[in-house]
Structure 1
């Protein structure tokens, strides 16, 4: 699979790293589910989660894998030897987990990585045939299978990513003309599917999952061209739990919630309600935990 093209520009890299650092406080919600010992992060990026893990469990052995050499370099500078970093293609490892030459692990983490892998599969469906639910489900199944192969008996996989909201029609009004302009731009630029809506007198009606994609991305500036190609809410918690079970992992925890940063931003920028006019808050994120054995 390819790496993010934005991280090789100064502004793009700065925006990405700042975004990952800004969300570290919320990513800490994963820590109570982590089993100390040998911990592997699949898709470690610039190392924000590994930094959290270093403080959470100093005695643990940390390993991070990513395809982006640039981001691994950033992680290496910030972690200063606290983690062993490996450049690997996760789908190649899924085909042959033995290529990693490490394991077993007590915890495997997928944080803000699964949606990027699923988006890649959506863009290259010919490489992910066969799953009845389509290429994105096939990509997730392969990565969950990789996690199971690398986990020790009793080990846990911790997944933190976007969440497909319960599908229902919602209404949206913007608190400024500039935000409405941004919505029009997003609807034209978003690539995973065609954003659908109807509008009358400044009030937009659209499916909740379509609104979710806009609401989780509209504030991006420098990395806009990358973010509008990603499919954050491609799967619900129930869909992911089914895929985890198919991979031989038993789900033991699932929660969906709204990141405080987004809740505050949405309250300031957007008026979202159901068809009866009652205020409605979208979830932004889900955490799932599954155990091997």
Structure 2
């Protein structure tokens, strides 16, 4: 009999099969236990312990730990639970896990006193390479029983058989903390990826830095429209705007709530709060996707702020269908008389009309044809390659990499024919080379100002007259005019159109 049974895994759900298997493995052959020292200690190495609310890791570590402890009591197993933080893929995973156990508990697990319980062949091979004996759990039984993740997917699919397969410790904990609803919401999320972001290619460091740099300008734009009370910033990034709201004396009695779907940014928000960035004690951060279901109770929020968010909902969701669900969710949680303030990019008026776009051809290289392998090449290589292209060649590359159609037809040297919306989608994105593979997944010009007003009033909002579509002249002066000109097909100049929108929408008092 070994002294320890190392059981690595994410352990989001525990099964009845695991209970019987571990009991047989951890009990002496004659079943007699005369002393506590005769018990085999099951060391649960809970991997991805720092991840939660992602498709791969929906349940937070502290809930997983609680289920394991209750499972141990109900099965009579002696257990030690150790969190193992996520790491980049490495062939030293087994070694890292064993060292983490030693650092957390002082237990020096060795092949002489430890058996590893693992049903994943690739992971089991790493422990075998260190000399450990392997117990295959589900992998050594025929027919193969349902693995924990298979049972969790049954739950997500509303298959009631998951309750028969899951251990009562999991069923009980899921019921008490409504984790079954959480799992369904996260696993079935149509927008958020496996690792908890909208896209796997985004550089969140530069993304957060850009938002922090623009936070003061954003806050100055919306401050006068903010209604005290319960103030929510959806898509709050790393919390930069809420930091400024926190400094407002007039809002010191308000609740400041940040909602962020991207795991990396939410973690930074929580870190800031722990480090004392906020004076107001009523600052809270939720990791949620509003499209996955209601985050706030009906008529419970006084002010909702969104910055550079709605174009992402349009782009990563189902365009207007997803955006309408989002607007409806905000309307539903807004108190009568409350306000939604939305600042984002905006398509030009008449975005479907045909224009001619002349682009610089000498400000970079022209390889003759765009590459079709940039997505596979990776973010760093893509950024370096696109940064070296001429503006004209960059349009061809954009048309290949962009998720949305960028139909363009060459009509002269450096001149193409396309719609005004497609032209502005390219021109407002062409300089984001650092996040090229991410930015080309988004559409900036899906809606023009009239579309926005129609959508808001259709849902029930009143659009405040202060709402407006504007042109960012800095972008025109520094990014567009030096390398591009717009004309009609017959050669008449076309003024640079609007690029951004500020919407102040109120829920009527009598609703």
Instruction: Please give the TM-score of this superposition, normalised by the length of structure 1.
Output: 0.84
Name the residue aligned to 2:286: 86
User: In 2, distance between residues paired with 1:227 and 1:202?
Assistant: 24
Q: Is the 8 A contact 2:261 2:287 kept in 1?
A: yes
Where relative contact order (Cα < 8 A, 6+ residues apart) is larger, the structure is: 1
User: In 1, distance between residues paired with 2:345 and 2:481?
Assistant: 21
Residue among 263, 275, 286 paired with 2:501: 286
Residue among 194, 218, 242 paired with 2:406: 194
> Within the alignment, does 1:50 sit opposite 2:263 as a pair?
no
Name the residue aligned to 1:251: 463
Point out the structure with the larger strand share. Answer: 1
Name the residue aligned to 2:343: 160
> Within the alignment, does 1:61 sit opposite 2:255 as a pair?
yes
- Structure 1 unaligned segments of length 5 or more: list them: 123-135
Q: How does 1:1-293 map to 2 (within 5 A)?
A: 1-2=191-192, 3-6=197-200, 12-27=203-218, 28-56=220-248, 58-59=251-252, 60-78=254-272, 80-81=277-278, 83-93=283-293, 97=294, 100=296, 104-122=300-318, 136-167=319-350, 168-175=353-360, 176-177=363-364, 178-253=390-465, 254-267=467-480, 269-275=482-488, 276-278=491-493, 280-293=495-508
Q: Displacement, 1:259?
A: 2.5
- Structure 2 unaligned segments of length 5 or more: list them: 1-190, 365-389
Structure 2 counterpart SS, 1:283: coil
Q: Is the 8 A contact 2:468 2:502 kept in 1?
A: yes
Instruction: Please give the TM-score of this superposition, normalised by the length of structure 2.
Output: 0.50
User: In 1, distance between residues paired with 2:199 and 2:421?
Assistant: 26
Deviation sequence 1:24-52 (CA, Å, 0-9, x none): 35423222322233211122122233234
Change (3 A) 1:5 1:137: closer
Bigger radius of gyration: 2
Deviates more, 1:207-216 or 1:55-64: 55-64
User: In 2, distance between residues paired with 1:103 and 1:39?
Assistant: 13
RMSD across aligned positions (CA)? 2.3
User: In 1, distance between residues paired with 2:357 and 2:406?
Assistant: 18
Name the residue aligned to 2:112: none
User: In 1, distance between residues paired with 2:409 and 2:241?
Assistant: 37
Q: Is the 8 A contact 1:4 1:226 kept in 2?
A: no
Change (3 A) 1:62 1:260: farther
Q: Is the 8 A contact 1:155 1:292 kept in 2?
A: yes
User: In 2, distance between residues paired with 1:52 and 1:171?
Assistant: 43
Change (3 A) 1:183 1:26: farther
Change (3 A) 1:181 1:22: farther
Change (3 A) 1:149 1:42: same
Q: Displacement, 1:222?
A: 2.2
| Aligned residues between the structures | 273
